[in-house]
Amino acid sequence: MTTTTTPARRGLNLGLWTAQGLLALIFVGGGIWKLAMPRPELAEIFPWTGGTPPALLYVTSVFDVLGGLGVLLPALTRIKPGLTVLAALGCVALQASAIVFHLSRGETDVVINVVLIALALFVAWGRHRAAPIPPRA
């Protein structure tokens, strides 16, 4: 059976893979970085990390890594690719929580969180509705 792929469909797929790769890189890289860097050094870059319980930093960092892996690996391996959508929605929830947290502390620079939400929503929509990835046969 032959399937035809339109240029628009190829462009959408390329955009989705790019967004998935970016999200994976940002979330996994950021999560590992926050886990590996000593807290005092991290607090110089991100002041909130010095003023909160260490558990909050470690839990959110682990969620970052898991979310980043989740938006990419299930789709890439085609093993339970529907998990990509759930991971993207989890990333949305994590970033929405981060926005609330930062705004409650008077930190108004949440642009990166909004961009990450937009990318994750694009992936969730695209991999659920517009260009779902079929599971491995």
Q: Is residue 137 a part of any domain in this protein?
A: no
- Dist CA 98 CA 112 (whole Å): 10
28 domain-assigned: yes
Does residue 115 lie within any of the structural domains? yes
Q: Domain span at residue 30?
A: 8-130
The pLDDT assigned to 74 comes to 98
Q: Answer whether residue 3 is part of any domain.
A: no
Residue 135 domain-assigned? no
Q: Per the structure, how many domains does the chain have?
A: 1
What are the tokens at 30? 């950021």
Per-position pLDDT tens, the chain of length 137: 456 689 999 999 999 999 999 999 999 999 999 999 999 999 999 999 999 999 999 999 999 999 999 999 999 999 999 999 999 999 999 999 999 999 999 999 999 999 999 999 999 999 999 999 999 98
| Cβ atoms within 10 Å of 54's Cβ, excluding its own | 9
